[in-house]
Chains A and B, each alone.
Chain A
Amino acid sequence: MKEYWRSLEDLLPEEDASQEKKSSVVLSDTSESSKNTRRDFLKYFGFSIASAAVLAGCERPVKKAIPYLIQPEEIRPGTANYYASTFYDGAEMVPILVKVRDGRPIKIEGNDLCQMTGGSASARVQASLLNLYDESRPAQPMLDGNPIRWEDVDAKLSETLAAWDTSKEFVILTPSIISPSTKKLLKDFSTKYPFVVHETFDAFSYSALREAYQMSFAQPIIPAFRFDQAKLVVGFNADFLGTWLQPTAFGRQYASARKLTDGQRDMMRHVQFEATMTLTGSNADERVPMPAVDEAYYLAALYAQLAKEAGIAVTSVDAPQAIVKVADELADAKGKSLVVSGTNDSSIQRLVVEINYLLENIGKTILVDRPLNLFQGDDKAFDDLLTRMENGNVGAVMFWETNPVYQAPLQGRTEEAIKKVPLRLAVQSQQTETALLCNYQLPAPHFLERWDDTELVSGVYTLTQPAIRPLFKTRSPQENLMAWAGFEGSYYDYIKLYWKENIYSLELAKGKQFESFWKVSLRDGIVAGNPTSGATSYQGADISAIVKANAAATSGNDLELVLYQNVPVGDGTLANNPWLQELPEPVSRVCWDNYVSVSPAFAALRGWTQGDVVNVNGIELPVLVQPGQARNTLSVAVGYGRSNAGRVASDLGKNIYPLVELSNGHRAYVIPKVEAVATGSTYELAATQSHHSMEGRALVRETTIADYLANPASGNEMHEKVEKLHTTLYHEHEYKGHHWGMVIDLNSCIGCNACVVACSAENNVPVVGRNEVRRSHEMHWIRLDRYYAGDSDNPEVVRQPVMCQHCDNAPCENVCPVAATNHSSEGINQMAYNRCIGTRYCNNNCPYKVRRFNWYDYTGADTIPNNRVDPAGMTLDLKRMVLNPDVTVRAKGVIEKCSMCIQRIQDKKLNAKKDGRQLADGEIKTACQQTCPADAITFGDMNDPNSKVSKLLKDARQYGLLEELHTLPSVVYLTKVRNKDKNKTLS
Chain B
Amino acid sequence: MVKTLSGSLWRGEKKLKFFFLCFALFYWAGFTTEAFAKKQGPQPDVKVGERLFYGLIPTGEGSNSCVSCHAMYPADSMNWNPSAIEMAKVAAEMDLATFKEHLLTPTGAMREKVHVKYQLDDEQLFHLQGYLAELADTGVKEQPISINKLLIFLLLGGLMTLALVDIFFTKKIPYKAVHVLIIIFGISFQLKIVAHEMIDLGRSQDYMPDQPIKFSHKVHAGDNKIDCLYCHSNADEGKSAGLPSAGLCMNCHQVVRNGSNSGQFEIAKVVDAYENNKDIEWVRIHNLPDHVFFSHAQHVNVGKRECQECHGEVENMHILKQENELSMGWCLDCHKKTNVDFLDNDYYKTFEALHKDLAEGVRDSIQAADIGANDCMKCHH
List residues of chain A with CB under 8 Å of any chain B CB: 52-53, 55-57, 60, 62-71, 76-79, 736-738, 822, 824-826, 828, 830-835, 886-889, 899, 902-903, 906, 909-910, 912-919, 941, 943-944
Contacts and interface: CB of A to CB of B under 8 A. Distances in A.
A568 B237 CA distance: 39
Interface stretch (B23-31, B48-56, B130-138, B290-298): B290-298
Contacts of A910: 295, 297-298, 302
Given A736-B354, A888-B290, A910-B295, A56 B201 contact: yes
A105 to B, nearest CB: 19
Given A67-B280, A69-B245, A888-B290, A916 B380 contact: no
B220 to A, nearest CB: 15
Contact of B282 (A57, A64, A913, A915): A64
B381 A66 contact: no
Given A52-B201, A71-B247, A913-B347, A831 B377 contact: yes
Contact of B346 (A70, A889, A909, A916): A916
B284 A906 contact: no
Given A910-B298, A912-B347, A919-B347, A66 B280 contact: yes
B347 A916 contact: yes
Contact of B279 (A69, A71, A886, A917): A69
Nearest to B236: A914
27 contacts: A64-B283, A64-B284, A65-B281, A67-B246, A68-B245, A69-B273, A69-B279, A71-B245, A79-B234, A736-B354, A736-B370, A822-B376, A824-B372, A824-B375, A824-B378, A826-B375, A830-B376, A831-B376, A832-B380, A833-B291, A903-B381, A906-B295, A916-B347, A917-B347, A918-B346, A918-B347, A941-B350
Q: Which 3 A-B pairs have the closest CB atoms?
A: A825-B372, A78-B239, A67-B243
B197 A56 contact: yes
A899 B381 contact: yes
Contacts of A52: 198, 201
A69 B277 contact: yes
A903 B283 contact: no
Given A71-B245, A737-B350, 14 more contacts: A55-B201, A62-B284, A65-B284, A69-B246, A69-B274, A70-B246, A79-B237, A830-B376, A889-B290, A906-B295, A913-B302, A914-B301, A916-B345, A944-B350
Given A69-B247, A69-B279, A888-B381, A826 B372 contact: yes
A232 B297 CA distance: 53
A738 B277 contact: no
Contacts of A65: 243, 281-284
Contacts of A835: 376
B378 A832 contact: no
Contacts of A69: 245-247, 273-274, 277-279
Given A77-B242, A903-B381, A56 B375 contact: no
A60 B246 contact: no
B65 interface: no
Interface in B218-256: 234, 237-240, 242-248
B342 to A, nearest CB: 11
Interface range for B: 35 or more
A833 B289 CA distance: 13
A918 B209 CA distance: 43
A886 B381 CA distance: 7
Contacts of B274: 69
B244 A824 contact: no
B376 A77 contact: no
Interface in B346-369: 346-347, 349-351, 353-354
Contact of B381 (A736, A902, A941): A902
A104 to B, nearest CB: 16
B192 to A, nearest CB: 14
B313 to A, nearest CB: 21
A55 to B, nearest CB: 7
A292 to B, nearest CB: 48
A768 B364 CA distance: 53
Nearest to B289: A834
Contacts of A887: 381
B287 interface: yes
Nearest to B273: A69
Contacts of B282: 64-67
A55 B371 CA distance: 38
A833 B344 CA distance: 35
Contacts of B344: 916
Interface string B250-285: 000000000000000000000001100111111110
Nearest to A56: B197
Nearest to A79: B238
A912 B302 CA distance: 10
A825 B369 CA distance: 10
Contacts of B277: 69
Contacts of A55: 201
Contacts of B234: 76-79
Nearest to A69: B246
Interface string B309-347: 000000000000000000000000000000000001111
A252 to B, nearest CB: 30
Contacts of B150: 57
Nearest to A62: B283
Contacts of A71: 244-245, 247-248
Nearest to A917: B346
Nearest to B282: A65
B13 interface: no
B362 to A, nearest CB: 13
A917 B350 CA distance: 10
A897 to B, nearest CB: 12
Contacts of B350: 737-738, 918-919, 941, 943-944
A831 B375 CA distance: 10
B243 A76 contact: no
Contacts of B243: 65, 67
B287 A63 contact: yes
Contacts of A914: 237, 297, 301-302
B334 to A, nearest CB: 18
B83 interface: no
B242 A67 contact: yes
Contacts of A63: 283-284, 287
Nearest to A52: B201
Nearest to A826: B372
A918 B247 contact: no
Contacts of A912: 347
Nearest to A738: B350
A467 B366 CA distance: 44
A284 B76 CA distance: 75
Given A736-B351, A910-B298, A824 B376 contact: yes
Most chain B Cβ neighbours within 10 Å, of A67, A738, A919: A67
Nearest to B279: A66
B246 to A, nearest CB: 5
A830 B354 CA distance: 23
B204 interface: yes
Nearest to A829: B377
A60 B204 contact: yes
A737 to B, nearest CB: 5
Contacts of A64: 281-284
A832 B374 CA distance: 12
Nearest to B145: A57
Nearest to A901: B381
Interface string B188-206: 0000000001101110100
Given A57-B150, A887-B381, A919-B350, A62 B209 contact: yes
B123 to A, nearest CB: 40
B242 A76 contact: yes
Contacts of A943: 350
A78 B238 contact: yes
A56 B381 contact: no
Given A914-B301, A918-B349, A888 B291 contact: yes
A65 B240 CA distance: 12
